Amino acid sequence: MGLAIGIASWFSEAFGRDYFNPELLEIDNPALKGADLTAFESGGQLAGTYYVDIILNGQKVDSRDVRFKTDDAQRLVPCLSAGLLESYGVKTTLFPDMAHADECATLNVIPQATSEFVFSHQKLDLSIPQAALAQHARGYVAPELWDEGITAALLNYSMNGANNRSHGSSDSDSQYVNLRPGINIGPWRLRNYTTWRRDNQSGNQWDNVYSYAQRSIAPLKSQLILGDSSAPSDVFDSMPFRGGQLASDDEMLPDSLKGYAPVVRGIARTNAQVVIRQNGYVIYQSYVAAGAFEITDMYSTGGAGDLNVTIKEADGSEQNYTVPFASLPVLQREGRLKYALTGGQYRSYDGSVENTPFGQASAIYGLPWGFTLYGGTQQSAKYQSYAVGVGKNLGEIGAVSGDVTQAASQPKGQAQTQGQSWRIRYSKNIVQTGTHFAIAGYRYSTNGYYGMQEVLDSWGDSAALNNRRRNRMELTVSQTLGGRLGSLMASAVQEDYWNSPGSMRSLSASYNNAWQGISYGLTWTLSKNNPGASSSATDRQIAINVSVPLDRWMANSWANYNLNSSRNNGTTHGLGLNGMALAGNTLNWSVQQGYGSDGVGYTGSANGDYKGTYGQVTAGYGYDRNSQRLSYGLAGGIIAHADGVTFSQPLGETNVLIKAPGAAGAGVNNQRSVKTDFRGYGITSNVTPFHKNDIGLNTASLPDDVELALTSQTVIPTRGAVVRADYITSVGKRILLTLVRSGRQTVPFGAMATLQGRNGPSAIVGDDGQVYLTGMPQAGTLEVVWGSDDQQRCTADFTLPTAPGTAPVILLQSVCR
């Protein structure tokens, strides 16, 4: 019997709670007597404010400072307001007892709701039953968390030019400036887009592409625009206007509920200038080397409409072709309404055209069974039209939409006419075969049909209605061949006209592949843009390009060869080198030498593009048998804000101002060449409006005397906002200080050390009286406390050495009195 009791007693003691006797710490540190360490006995932590990731049912919903209190079991419990929980989707109205006087919601009033603070990962896990949560879509961000940003003035600018020295003819110069100023005040965004061009033939020319005021309307999931813009092209062709527009904004939807500027591709025979127009306005101008090129960095003009591309070759010849700019079939999820209401005056690039008032309304609504119904109307004194259409998700077959527009038109100097336009569009992505039909469409217009823009343009100095469209077909398709066989891409646009025997035609096809790091491609294009012209106006080109990496000899560099053959302009060959250089690969460079037949002769070029903290600089030189060209460019962004002026690379539509005072030259994660300036301010534009964006600083790029309390911030900007990502920096020396008391005793373990005159977190003293401190001034005083008794506190003065070459962490000892 006694043996049984003894064994039971032994097992009871063996499985009892582990206990650490704090008196053991007093053996070598009598001054620690009375220190309260109960919070640490079972792995707990002190109550206070901690920056944590908030995880709700396994999904991250927020990152913020949260105040924690201790409950009766000495556990840390979060202090979260009912309003904050509601923004996370908690149905707080079902639990009236949740609200608390100190704004700390009582979470346990929700049955089975729990919270756990994982201190080692600075993570707060919330578990709340689904019955207590609103059914939000994946990726949903509550409008209450959207940040309208700070008051700021913005300027996005780009400028380029060229000096041409011709052999046997006069020299020429040309310059192009693109300015996009703006002001943000609360939810309002004021924007302007102005361009300036100058050359020897036409002199100076200013164009105001648009000026408008815009703001988000959160309850309507829409954008309000007052001023110059373009009506959407979902139902009707895009119309530039001056007036007002209220239209749905799909970016306000979560990614899981969301149903484009296109890439412009072409082939330049020589060192050429590329000019892109939309609705008559020049929206892009740049210079490219000979060979196949892609333009992917066009600034959005806020509207749609075909892009007219002009390639001005060095010998004076020009290529012209059209890139379709259209949306995919207008399918919407069941119950989703997408709309646009537009009213104002037609805004033509031709100043002689009358500013005719008009109104336009369109709506797209998702019906059950995969159907979408859409339609709208356009109304003016000279034009009236009505459209109706339907789209259908056909499952594995794809998606298709068809619509008809009935229009009554009054062109200048002609009798009123009526007609119809029929359109069908198709889209399909076949995952199994790697086939993607980006868009395939066909449109037929009867003889009496006019588009609104055609009719309103006729009311100018030139009343002729040329090239009135009859048929239009367009197709963009890509195909992955699988394995190591590469991919194919093809696009086609063709139009013919009622009053012209010719047609417009743009066709292109390309094949691309790679092997052992060597990439190669073949591109073929056909362009005909002069309706009524002879077949000789049609040009066919083929381009072959090969790129070979040279990493064995030069890091981040490639050798390339290209061949361009044109039906009308002969064949050219080019051999060159290109690569990236400098820290962070901020410099892109290329050199090329070529030779062409049909009198082209030798050609050559050298180009450089440097992306720095304060902007982007480009320079290039090219020559051929007829001329030499020196080109140059500068682009960047400027934001004036409450803390000063910050320069950067070109701005995006929505931007983040990084504020890390003293952290000069800090890099931004996943942003090449983006760094903070000499004051610790920087700008990044790689953000998505109405979504969570994590902005992180690269700690490896921080100066040795800078510490960050947090290295990442989460921002949720509205469209066009400038939001501030505010980092708490500790600028100063890093020291490992040994605190010694009288009698050579060290300050006890667990004591808290605080720098006098600084409002910030305290540091905990470790073994042997050592405390690690960051952001320390050249001299200062520490207040050290390890209990409530006056005998359990002291102060220590320190002075840092001034000798050059000081180690990153300075070792010091100080007497604490």
Residue 110 has pLDDT above 50, yes or no: yes
Distance CA 770, CA 760 (A): 19
Q: Higher confidence at residue 2 or residue 398? A: 398
Q: How confident is the model at residue 137 (pLDDT cuts 50, 70, 90)?
A: low
Distance CA 35, CA 612 (A): 54
743 by Cβ neighbours in 10 Å (0-12 / 13-18 / 19+) ranks as: exposed
* Residue range 655-669, pLDDT digits in tens: 999 999 989 989 898
Residue 596 has pLDDT above 60, yes or no: yes
For 7, 16, 17, 21, 338, the CA distances from 12, given in Å and listed in that order, are 9, 6, 10, 19, 69
| Least trusted range by pLDDT, from 41-55, 350-364, 390-404 | 41-55
Average pLDDT over residues 140-157: 91
Q: How confident is the model at residue 10 (pLDDT cuts 50, 70, 90)?
A: very low
Q: Output the pLDDT for position 428.
A: 76
Residue 232 has pLDDT above 70, yes or no: yes
Strands (E), 100-187: 114-118, 123-127, 152-166, 172-185
* Residue range 80-106, pLDDT digits in tens: 888 888 878 888 888 877 766 557 887
Q: Which amino acid is at 240?
A: P
Distance CA 267, CA 293 (A): 6
Q: Output the pLDDT for position 318.
A: 80
Q: Output the pLDDT for position 577.
A: 94
Q: Which long-range contacts (CB under 8 A, 24 or more apart) does 534-542 make?
A: 536/568, 538/505, 538/567, 539/319, 539/566, 539/567, 539/568, 539/569, 540/566, 540/567, 541/267, 541/269, 541/565, 541/566, 541/567
Q: Output the pLDDT for position 370.
A: 78
Closest CA to 760 of 704, 697, 707, 807: 707
Average pLDDT over residues 398-415: 90
Q: Which amino acid is at 772?
A: Y
Closest CA to 643 of 679, 695, 683, 697: 679
Percent of the chain at pLDDT above 70?
Answer: 87
* Token pair recorded at residue 327: 């949306």
Question: The pTM is what?
Answer: 0.77
Asked if 675 and 701 count as a contact pair (C-beta separation under 8 A), the reply is yes
Distance CA 390, CA 536 (A): 42
Q: How confident is the model at residue 589 (pLDDT cuts 50, 70, 90)?
A: very high
* Residue range 538-584, pLDDT digits in tens: 888 899 999 999 988 888 899 999 898 888 778 888 899 999 988 87
* Residue range 328-345, pLDDT digits in tens: 567 787 788 999 999 999
Residue 782 has pLDDT above 70, yes or no: yes
Q: Output the pLDDT for position 590.
A: 93
* Residue range 479-516, pLDDT digits in tens: 888 778 899 999 999 988 887 777 888 899 999 999 98
Average pLDDT over residues 116-140: 80
Asked if 95 and 131 count as a contact pair (C-beta separation under 8 A), the reply is no
Average pLDDT over residues 32-47: 57
| Least trusted range by pLDDT, from 68-82, 358-372, 399-413, 764-778 | 68-82
Q: How many CB atoms lie within 10 A of CB 615?
A: 18
Distance CA 595, CA 745 (A): 84
Distance CA 603, CA 590 (A): 14
Q: Output the pLDDT for position 304.
A: 45
Q: How confident is the model at residue 8 (pLDDT cuts 50, 70, 90)?
A: very low
Query: Mean pLDDT, the chain, as a whole number?
Result: 83
Strands (E), 665-756: 681-684, 693-696, 706-708, 712-715, 722-726, 729-731, 733-740, 752-755
* Residue range 621-637, pLDDT digits in tens: 998 888 888 999 999 99
DSSP element (H, E) containing 632: strand 627-641
Asked if 51 and 122 count as a contact pair (C-beta separation under 8 A), the reply is yes
Q: What 3-state class would DSSP assign to 155?
A: strand
Q: Output the pLDDT for position 68.
A: 86
Q: How far is CA 210 from the centre of its chain?
A: 22
Residue 184 has pLDDT above 80, yes or no: yes
Distance CA 608, CA 630 (A): 12
Count, residues in the chain: 817
* Residue range 506-542, pLDDT digits in tens: 899 999 999 988 999 999 998 887 655 544 578 888 9
Q: What is the DSSP letter of 499?
A: T
β-bridge partners, 782: 755, 796
Q: What 3-state class would DSSP assign to 662?
A: coil
Q: What is the DSSP letter of 167?
A: S
Q: Output the pLDDT for position 502.
A: 76
Average pLDDT over residues 801-808: 73
CA angle, corner 179, sides to 176 and 183, nearest 5?
180
Q: What share of the chain is helix, strand, coil (3-state, %, to 5)?
A: 10, 55, 35
Residues 6+ positions from 705 with CB-CB distance below 8 Å: 731, 732, 733, 734, 775
